[in-house]
Structure 1
Amino acid sequence: MSTPGTTRNPGPVVWGAAAALIVLVAIPLLFIVLQAIFPAIGQGSLASPFDGVLDVLTDPKLVGMAGNTLVLGLGVVVCSAVIAVPLAFLRALFQVPLARLWDVLLLIPFMIPPYIATLGWIMTVQPNGYLKQVTGLDAGSYLFSIGGVIFVMTLGVFPVVYFAVSRTVEAIGGRYADVGRVFGASPFTALRRVTLPLSLPGLAASLLLVFAMAIEEYGTPAALGRQAGFEVLVTGIDTRVSDWPIDLRGAAVLSLVLVMMSLGAFMIQLRILANRSFETVGGKPQAVRKRPLGIFAIPVVAAFAIVTLLAVGVPLFAIFATALSKTLSGGLSPDNLGFDHFRAIVADENGAFRALVNSLSLGIATAVITGVIGAATSYMVVRTRFRGKGFLDALTVMPNAIPGVVVAVGIILAWNQPWLPVTPYNTPLILLMAYCCILLPYPVRYANAAFRQVGDNLEAAARVFGASPLVAFRRILFPLVLPSLLASMLLVFAVATRELVASLLLAPVGMSTISTFIWRQFDQGSVGLGMAMSAVTILITTTIPLLVTLASGRRGPM
């Protein structure tokens, strides 16, 4: 007997969502595996399986790239923990002055695309850069090194750890550590033996995410690492699919190695958290009492200010200073400042305005499509019962464990086959498919949580009065989950408009997006125009979601 509000028949909407998941996620991943196993699949042949795979895996260059990727990921994890964990504990347990201001400021790195922040650091630290102009210091040799890559990437991702750990520790409070103090433990021992172990779930999850973000990031290793001879898997994959002779088999094998690294990190997290209890919240609410900092207030504020200056102040200053500078050689003098580069964007110089329109259009389309698929898929997972829904649910979360460059390679392999009568390859549709695949998990997870909050009785009542599953979904359930879905769609829009690696690999000939335009302007020496586009990108991806959120709040719940 079916549970009220559930059905064994998924209906046409859900079947459509299932078909979209197979096309967007399953097929590209399948072709990565097939290409790695069958080197001649592009010619329609399954001959010589595994031919040469061992040679690729034992290639010293691949081993070196894999090692560098691990060094990069682990280095960013360690540095993020060193910066974020102390700040998070201070924020959660003590009365930090201007605490809410620091929280808001530390959200800004999420709004700055990593490759744009990296370009900002290059403008700051390069010879005769802003650091040299303002302080006389020259740190360019440090930036273009392994340490420089790890440093810049850490400043972009450590807030993930900061917010996860601070919220976890705040929920725990200081009462368990106080019990340890009563039994003779020193403050450091109570922190190490009680509070830190209890915060392990939030810490492990955030560090896993940081590791995944670090090993799949393309812009920073490409801009900084290559000049230091620091090649990682992501840049190696890009080289194999972009430079002649194209090596699709090598790209597929490197992609699988990268996926295995992500999955391996996930398995380590599960192993750490297995068979341990982290229960800290019971039925009786506990007051959260934060301790005063006393004489340590000034050093703590200084620590927050320095980290915020490095993570937020330096990139934003470099971006807007370069965008407003008429010439780089003119420096920061007032007579060298103006809006010439912004006027060039409006005038469509070098295709700037077209790139802006292309990215905004793709961002809106991606948000709408992933929102519809996410709502339908979540309805399928939560509200229906049929064989195979677990597999489709796994497809929705799989892009979380798959770097964007792997998705791009899979799409190239899947849709660039010579035997296909019709293909979206080398059209704007291929970019849209890549964006949807990469960003689909956001709407699915948001909608999934929202559907679980809606009782079964509403849909059951509609069915009693003759409504079909489609009508019940469209008239009752969808409006109820729309606020959560809208929030995820705004996030998808912000990320899609500035996505870099898939855009570089898949953009059709003659078509530019915001990210490819910025990247190529730096390659061509038009740094001011590229930074002006970066400034416009940050303003758009911050302002539009904010305005939509405010407008939705004024209208109230739907």
Structure 2
Amino acid sequence: MARAREGVSPSVIIAAAGLVLVVAVPFLFIILQAIFPELGRGSLAAPFSALAGALGDPKLIGMTGNTLLLGVLVVALSALIAVPLAVARALFKVPGAVIWDVLFLIPFMIPPYIAVLGWIMTLQPRGYLEQLVGFNLATFLFSVPGIVFVMTLNSFPVVYFAVSRTLETVGSRYADVGRVFGASPARAFWRITLPLSTPGLAASLLLVFAMAIEEYGTPAALGGRAGFEVLVTAIDLRVSDWPIDLPGAAILSLVLVVLSFGAFVLQRWILTRRSYEATTGKPQDSAKRDLGVWKLPVVAGFALVAFVATGLPLLAILASALSRTISGGLVWSNLGFSNFSAILGDSTGALKALGTSLSLGVAAALVTGLLGALSAYAVVKSKVRGRGVLDVLTILPNALPGIVVAVGLILAWNQPWLPVTPYNTSLILLLAYCCILLPQPVRYATAAFHQIGDNLEAAARVFGASPMVAFRRILLPLIAPSLLAAMLLVFAVATRELVASVVVAPVGVSTISTYIWRQFEQGSVGLGMAMAFVTILITTALPLIALSLMGRRGNLL
């Protein structure tokens, strides 16, 4: 009771202010712009007048259907590829299991827009495939199945890692009990083991669906030739092409938010229908079974997926980066390091773009790490009224695709009556990255706080520590490992983010993603791919080095 009567702690105030600035403001202005079409001119006239035109657009049903179709197909194909591999990895002794894990992590670290450009260079007419074997697959690539194929190769690792780790937690003990009572191995797996892994499977498939419906690079690069328009590309068209249609972009953004939020509601419904408890405190047998005669087919399956998802895109990116001219083809005389020299020599502004992205990545990691820790503390540990609202604000970015965040920031900070605004500065990019990536530190910190008893903070308060001191000196060090892992993920993703960067980047400010995208638009494919290869090395190596150093420090301690 004493704690309930105390004033609101500074940590909760900072969390609330940060969430309002980063999350609530852009989302609120999307809603306001959809209602008041003249908001950009400082007027609240003609409310709801734009809804009929936008929602009555005959293309809207088709775009919404295409968006849903794309999400469902990517989810289905990701599950088809990832679940069998995850089952084998979790329950059986797969030779080279750690190597396969690393190889499957790389496609997730390759930005989707870079991967699709690599596939274009490989499968298009006179591409690398045709140069090597005499035919191309352009018809397949520039089609709906091709779009789904490329997007799946970037997203299936999410399902693979989530399901394999969940199945390892479940183990085979419950399936063995089923077999004792007469169930066949297949029936025990389908009726016991797989249902118990539903939380990990549902969460990962939901994330894949959200990634698919908000992905911009692949539909933009491949969908035009296929005549396949989705909501993301339509929103970008309304924001970037004249005449600018901000009310229409806001309304389509809300449609996209509804689709994404509906997926989260579906996940909640699935997970609350029954109990999936598999950890009872008793030791579980984690011994994995031998594959027996299935060893060679399973290894071949892992190798095939690794080659297609990791090997081919990396080889295509490297080949393009080393080519002096794309028309010169795959011949030794056309290969060299001139594109890398141009990147390192900064003759095209590459190093400036690299420095901008790395700086923004570090800043986004620090801001989201601090705000995520404070927000998770306010929701999990504080007793302040209104923490349910804060919880909703921490979840809301999950339902806000990058293009929606970008539109919201434009609407919020490009108002004529604002005396000071971050619009048209690098700060607007930082706000976009923080909003998009905030859920990662929040989820990690929330899970860590749930594992910390209240007695530690209470003991500190008894000895006179203020709430902020207790948070800084006791709770923050305890959640630091989980929080740092999330911050590394934020850094890796922020440095390569495309859609928000393309939409809100100020004039004269270039990031890694906008630099690569513009090089391809200008026909400088080699420079773009050289920058892409450098980006992949940096965004993969730096987090791995940091995690390695963290592990060594932990061992020393």
**TM score, norm. by length of structure 2:** 0.95
2:101 match: 103
CA contact (8 A) 1:111 1:538 kept: yes
- Counterpart of 2:423, as a letter, is Y
2:61 match: 63
Aligned Cα root-mean-square deviation (Å): 2.0
| Worse overlay, 181-190 or 533-542 | 181-190
Q: Using the TM superposition, give the Cα deviation of residue 64 of structure 1 relative to its aligned residue in structure 2, in angstroms.
A: 1.2
1:544 match: 542
- Counterpart of 1:350, as a letter, is T
- Judged with a 3 Å threshold, the aligned counterparts in structure 2 of structure 1 residues 372 and 188 are, in CA distance, closer, same or farther, namely closer
Q: Using the TM superposition, give the Cα deviation of residue 531 of structure 1 relative to its aligned residue in structure 2, in angstroms.
A: 0.5
CA contact (8 A) 2:231 2:256 kept: yes
| Worse overlay, 228-237 or 170-179 | 170-179
CA deviation profile, 1:378-430 (whole Å, cap 9, x unmatched):
23223322111221122122111211111111111111112222211111111
CA contact (8 A) 2:380 2:446 kept: yes
Identical pairs, percent: 68
1:86 match: 84
2:426 match: 428
Equivalent positions of 1:282-301 (< 5 A) are 282-301=280-299
| Worse overlay, 171-180 or 495-504 | 171-180
CA deviation profile, 1:249-268 (whole Å, cap 9, x unmatched):
11011101101101111222
**Pairing 1:162–2:157 present:** no
Unaligned residue ranges in structure 1 (runs of 5+): none
**Pairing 1:401–2:399 present:** yes
- Judged with a 3 Å threshold, the aligned counterparts in structure 2 of structure 1 residues 189 and 445 are, in CA distance, closer, same or farther, namely closer
2:516 match: 518
1:245 match: 243
CA contact (8 A) 1:7 1:384 kept: no
Indicate the SS of the match to 1:490: helix
| Worse overlay, 91-100 or 209-218 | 91-100
Q: Using the TM superposition, give the Cα deviation of residue 216 of structure 1 relative to its aligned residue in structure 2, in angstroms.
A: 0.5
Q: Using the TM superposition, give the Cα deviation of residue 110 of structure 1 relative to its aligned residue in structure 2, in angstroms.
A: 1.7
2:119 match: 121
- Counterpart of 1:442, as a letter, is Q
- Counterpart of 1:316, as a letter, is L
**Pairing 1:273–2:261 present:** no
1:256 match: 254
- Judged with a 3 Å threshold, the aligned counterparts in structure 2 of structure 1 residues 457 and 172 are, in CA distance, closer, same or farther, namely closer
1:386 match: 384
1:138 to 131, 136, 139: 136
CA contact (8 A) 1:218 1:234 kept: yes
Q: In structure 1, what is the Cα distance between the partners aligned to 2:488 and 2:432?
A: 18
Query: How many residues are aligned here?
Result: 556
CA contact (8 A) 1:8 1:384 kept: no
- Counterpart of 2:480, as a letter, is L
1:229 match: 227
| Worse overlay, 284-293 or 409-418 | 284-293
Q: Using the TM superposition, give the Cα deviation of residue 123 of structure 1 relative to its aligned residue in structure 2, in angstroms.
A: 1.1
**TM score, norm. by length of structure 1:** 0.95
Q: Using the TM superposition, give the Cα deviation of residue 512 of structure 1 relative to its aligned residue in structure 2, in angstroms.
A: 0.7
CA contact (8 A) 1:93 1:169 kept: yes
CA contact (8 A) 1:8 1:386 kept: no
1:463 to 423, 447, 461: 461
- Counterpart of 1:408, as a letter, is A
CA contact (8 A) 1:359 1:514 kept: yes
CA contact (8 A) 1:7 1:385 kept: no
Q: Using the TM superposition, give the Cα deviation of residue 177 of structure 1 relative to its aligned residue in structure 2, in angstroms.
A: 3.6
CA contact (8 A) 2:34 2:50 kept: no
1:376 match: 374
Equivalent positions of 1:525-540 (< 5 A) are 525-540=523-538
Q: In structure 1, what is the Cα distance between the partners aligned to 2:198 and 2:471?
A: 39
Unaligned residue ranges in structure 2 (runs of 5+): none
| Worse overlay, 383-392 or 478-487 | 478-487
**Pairing 1:437–2:435 present:** yes
Q: In structure 2, what is the Cα distance between the partners aligned to 1:551 and 1:176?
A: 38
Indicate the SS of the match to 1:277: coil
Q: Using the TM superposition, give the Cα deviation of residue 329 of structure 1 relative to its aligned residue in structure 2, in angstroms.
A: 2.4
1:344 match: 342
Q: In structure 1, what is the Cα distance between the partners aligned to 2:101 and 2:463?
A: 49
| Worse overlay, 99-108 or 265-274 | 265-274
- Judged with a 3 Å threshold, the aligned counterparts in structure 2 of structure 1 residues 475 and 185 are, in CA distance, closer, same or farther, namely closer
CA contact (8 A) 2:406 2:432 kept: yes
CA deviation profile, 1:99-124 (whole Å, cap 9, x unmatched):
22212211111211111111111111
Indicate the SS of the match to 1:9: coil
- Counterpart of 2:350, as a letter, is A
Q: In structure 1, what is the Cα distance between the partners aligned to 2:97 and 2:106?
A: 15
Q: Using the TM superposition, give the Cα deviation of residue 93 of structure 1 relative to its aligned residue in structure 2, in angstroms.
A: 2.5
**Pairing 1:309–2:337 present:** no
- Judged with a 3 Å threshold, the aligned counterparts in structure 2 of structure 1 residues 11 and 145 are, in CA distance, closer, same or farther, namely same
- Judged with a 3 Å threshold, the aligned counterparts in structure 2 of structure 1 residues 383 and 197 are, in CA distance, closer, same or farther, namely closer
